[in-house]
Amino acid sequence: MSSDETQPHIRHPNPNQVPSRTSKSRLSFFFFSSILVLLLAVSLGLASRTHFFKAHLLTRFQQILRRLLPLKPRQNPHSDGTNLSADPSHCVLWMAPFLSGGGYSSEAWSYVLSIHNHLRIKKSPKFKLGIEQHGDLESIEFWEGLPVEIRNLALELHRTQCAPDRTILVCHSEPGAWYPPLFQTLPCPPYGYGHYRYVIGRTMFESDRVGLEHARRCNRMDYVWVPTDFHVRTFVSSGVDPAKVVKIMQPIDVEFFDPEKYWPMDLSSLGDLVLGERSKAQDLNGRMEFVFLSVFKWEFRKGWDVLLSAYLREFDGADGVSLYLLTNPYHSDRNFGNKIVEFVDNSNMEKPRNGWAPIYVIGTHVPQSDLPRIYKAADAFVLPSRGEGWGRPLVEAMSMSLPLIATNWSGPTEYLTEENSYPLPVERMVEVVEGPFKGHLWAEPSVDELRRLMKHLVSSPEERKNRGRQARRDMIRRFSPGIVAEIVSEEIEKLLEGRE
């Protein structure tokens, strides 16, 4: 659906901290109002568990939606030709931060859209799909940026009636949001364990392990879905029951992120020049400058310091290269230009005789629909991250046939190869000193290796094009929505038929 790095209101999954009261106040209003409905239902003895389950969830979601958009007259849910007699009674209810825009939100949308399309073309689907908001604040900006078809689909999927005992519940969020939640959110499962046919946790982490509390939470689930072999290893070695851990990769919308479909965006008009000088767009031979693009939240984990060091040490103002950073804040202000200048001032780098190689920042909100055109305008993508769960911008860039340099550690090892990208070697493992992964280990990518790869990439046009093409082929072959939906459906059907 979208890059986790370019959406508003991101709250990183934070396994240790409980978010502040104020940051949750908007959500808590809805939460408590639906709790009220729930308590009322209980005290009046009006509802069976199934009924108040629905009362609780519907109230919450509809209140949010009603506030976010004017409700349209309800359409006939079967007007799209769905085979009524084939309407299955089993349900997959996907609970995730659909309305929040963060990383889990875009992931969840990518699964739900894939599965929905898969079910639509299937002759006799074995289950139907429902969705519910859970696990993070909702963002009006994000909701309003969604195409109207998606919003209508959200409403439609939210109306799916699911009987708990015939439902496989997927809790797609950080384990801190699972029952009982560590912060104010509608928990998943909503009433604790034991009411559903199966409960599956879908999560991932960016460091080398899962904390004790989260491993315990994973073990309360019937299954835990993780996206990569890296996560299977780290979850199991952290004490999560190996019989519960299942790898389910993440889909990438290869039709939306298709380089054939877009003209490049004029990046120089979109980005603010924060260091160096604007290079002349073309030299006398008609050669354009070489554009490196990086997309990330402004946090230490993303290795922006490594990127700036390597780029500024390797290139200068006469090399005809430029670096564009599409970034947004993570617990910080938006003044990225200052941060970059400050970083350079505090480093021991000396300004080259030809001046600094130019750095541009795109710090404004970029609608999802413009994202492919930004990738299209770049010659290469680079992200020397210290740890990634999946790396959505990486697979988006690869789907756009962009040659890519990314750290060869954690989630991305699932898809990085020497044939489809430029895997950046890790210098050593280091202890995380602050934030949610404090005390864990993650990778320290090599500045020297990054310099070498960036230089090599600029001077090897044929090779990098070949790798970019291979990248897209690999994305289509392994992670296109149809392929992943097939894998998810197979797993669900296995559970429903008791084949597990």
List interacting residues with ligand NAG (CB under 6 A).
Answer: 83, 85-86, 124, 408, 413, 418, 423, 425
**Token pair listed for 262:** 């877009």
Whichever of 7 and 446 has its CB closer to ligand NAG, that residue is: 446
Per DSSP, what are the bridge partners of residue 328?
A: 297
By beta-carbon proximity to ligand NAG, the closer residue of 110 and 470 is 470
Q: Which is nearer to ligand NAG, 14 or 413 (CB)?
A: 413
Q: How far is the CB of 75 from ligand NAG (least distance, A)?
A: 20
CB of 425 to ligand NAG, least distance (A): 4
Strand positions, DSSP E, 299-416: 321-329, 359-362, 380-383, 404-407
Nearer to ligand NAG among residue 181 and residue 303 (C-beta): 303
The 3-state DSSP class for residue 294 equals strand
In the complex, minimum distance from the CB of residue 411 to ligand NAG, in angstroms, rounded to a whole number? 11
Q: Cα–Cα distances in Å, from 12 out to 166, 171, 215?
A: 32, 17, 18
- The DSSP string of 145-174 is HS-HHHHHHHHHHHT----GGGEEEEEES-
Cβ atoms of 105 and 7 closer than 8 Å: yes
Residue 88: CB atoms within 10 Å: 13
What does the radius of gyration of the chain's CA atoms come to, in whole angstroms? 23
Structure token pair of residue 284: 């006398």
Residue with smallest beta-carbon separation from ligand NAG: 86
If the CB atoms of residues 76 and 85 are measured against ligand NAG, the closer one turns out to be 85
Say how far apart CA 83 and CA 80 lie, in whole Å: 9
Please say which residue, 184 or 460, places its beta carbon nearer to ligand NAG: 460
Q: Which is nearer to ligand NAG, 48 or 124 (CB)?
A: 124
| Minimal distance, residue 398 CB to ligand NAG, in Å | 16
Nearer to ligand NAG, 305 or 427 (CB): 427
- Alpha-helical regions (H) of 44-179: 49-68, 103-121, 140-145, 148-158
- Cβ-based neighbour number of residue 151 at 10 Å: 16
Let me know if 192 is exposed, middle or buried by CB neighbors in 10 A (0-12, 13-18, 19+): exposed
* Closest CB 348 distance from ligand NAG, rounded Å: 28
Question: Least distance to ligand NAG from the beta carbon of 426, Å?
Answer: 8
| AA letter at 415 | Y
3-class SS of residue 247: strand
Task: Give the nearer residue to ligand NAG in terms of CB position, either 6 or 410.
Answer: 410
Check residue 282 and report its DSSP letter: B
Of 238 and 413, nearer to ligand NAG (C-beta) is: 413
CB-wise, 363 or 445, nearer to ligand NAG?
445
Shortest distance (Å) from residue 454 CB to ligand NAG: 15
Name the minimum Å distance from CB 130 to ligand NAG.
20
First-to-last C-alpha distance (Å) of the chain: 30
DSSP string for 15-33 = SSPPPPTGGGHHHHHHHHH
Note the residue count of the chain.
Answer: 500
Q: How many CB atoms lie within 10 A of CB 82?
A: 13
What are residue 198's DSSP bridge partners? 168
Crossing angle of helices 481-496 and 103-121, rounded to 10°: 80
Shortest distance in whole angstroms from residue 321 CB to ligand NAG: 23
CB of 328 to ligand NAG, least distance (A): 29
Q: How near is the Cβ of 313 to ligand NAG at its closest, in Å?
A: 21
Query: Whole-number minimum distance, CB 427 to ligand NAG, in Å?
Result: 11
CB 264 within 8 A of CB 272: no
Which of residues 220 and 451 has its CB atom nearest to ligand NAG in the complex?
451
Distance between CA atoms of 442 and 437, rounded to whole angstroms? 9
